[in-house]
Amino acid sequence: MDNALQDLLEIEAIRQLKYRYFRAVDCHDWPLLASCLAEDCTTWLDSGKYRFNGRDEFVAELRKLLDDPPLLTLHQGHHPEIELVGPDKARGLWYLEDYVISQEQNWLLRGTAYYRDEYVKRDGKWQIHSTGYDRVFEAVTSPIPADFRVTANRFTAAR
């Protein structure tokens, strides 16, 4: 296969990986999230305010943060810049737009950031080896406006 075509296929596989990562976080699908991450991954969030070493630590802490009480989140990754730096290594820069709703704590968060990722390919499968973001901005509304309504919520239906 032509090298340029193979590179495009690898970049697409990495894009799909990051999309699964965002979906796993927003759907609280912890096994799916774990499958996106290398076992030895490092994670830093909110410009390094939160740091985690290893897949298991990150997934466990994120689960605690998002599940109880449940936070509703929206993470959208845009404009990926993915560079292959070897046959089994790549790096990426993603623009993040996120939205968080805490009904129980009565606040809304809207923000943007840049994610910086490193990827590894092990056993033929791309995984996130390092990921983190630096904020461009973050805005919080509290209390939630009186006319704000969540009309569908997959997490309260399961309770």
Task: State how far the Cα of 76 lies from the Cα of 78, in Å rounded to an integer.
Answer: 6
Give the architecture (CATH level 2) of 1-139: Roll (3.10)
**pLDDT tens digits for 91-147?**
999 999 999 999 999 999 999 999 999 999 999 999 999 999 999 999 999 999 999
Task: State how far the Cα of 35 lies from the Cα of 37, in Å rounded to an integer.
Answer: 6
Give residue limits of the domains in the chain: 1-139
Q: What is the pTM of this model?
A: 0.93
Cα-Cα-Cα-Cα dihedral sign, residues 15, 16, 17, 19: positive
- C-alpha count within 13 angstroms, C-beta hemisphere, residue 56: 1
**pLDDT tens digits for 49-106?**
899 999 999 999 999 999 988 899 999 999 999 999 999 999 999 999 999 999 999 9
